[in-house]
């Protein structure tokens, strides 16, 4: 079952602009993760934020988590053409016993124009 819903479904920006993607989920979680998928390839883990964290940074990525609203956002600053990809949020449901059975959203397709 798909718990995460991402918004927008597609985003097109110019190089150098910031890109913000949002994810909402329905149940309590242990953590929330963001993955990136280049066209026709597998998913690659970007960043993980635990349920007791509110913000996390990794390079040009900034993730926030609001557990009261059951939502997260991924901000990519100073975007580059190479950031063009699909971005997925994935939640690790509370009580999942550390199985790795994440629930993925349907993704946001980001296009960064040179």
Cα–Cα nearest to 76, from 6, 19, 15: 19
Q: Does 45 bind other proteins (CB under 8 A)?
A: yes
Q: Is residue 101 involved in binding other proteins (CB under 8 A)?
A: yes
| Distance in angstroms (rounded) separating the CA atoms of residues 108 and 110 | 6
Determine what percent of the chain falls in helix, strand and coil, rounding each to the nearest 5.
5, 55, 40
Q: Which residue number, 68 or 98, has a Cβ lying nearer to other proteins? A: 98
DSSP-assigned letters across all residues of 29-60: EEEEEEEEE-TTS-EEEEEEEETT-SEEEETT
Question: Distance between CA atoms of 48 and 91, rounded to whole angstroms?
Answer: 10
Q: Does 14 bind other proteins (CB under 8 A)?
A: no
Q: Taking contact as CB under 8 A, which single stretch among the options 11-19, 30-38, 59-67, 69-77 is the one that binds other proteins?
A: 30-38
Which of 79, 110 has the CB closer to other proteins?
A: 110
Contact map string, positions 47 to 76, toward other proteins, x by CB under 8 A: -x-x--------------------------
- Which residue ranges make up the site for other proteins (CB under 8 A)? 1-2, 30-31, 33, 35, 40-45, 48, 50, 88, 92, 98-102, 104-107
């Amino acid at each position: 079952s798909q718990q995460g819903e991402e918004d927008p479904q597609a985003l097109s920006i110019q190089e150098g602009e910031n890109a913000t993607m949002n994810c909402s989920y329905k149940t309590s979680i242990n953590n929330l993760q963001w993955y990136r998928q280049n066209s026709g390839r597998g998913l690659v883990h970007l960043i993980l934020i635990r349920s007791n964290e509110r913000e996390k940074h990794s390079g040009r990525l900034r993730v926030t988590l609001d557990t009261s609203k059951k939502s997260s956002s991924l901000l990519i600053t100073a975007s580059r053409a190479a950031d063009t990809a699909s971005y997925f949020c994935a939640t690790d449901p509370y009580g999942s016993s550390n199985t790795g059975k994440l629930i993925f959203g349907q993704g946001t397709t980001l296009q960064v124009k040179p």
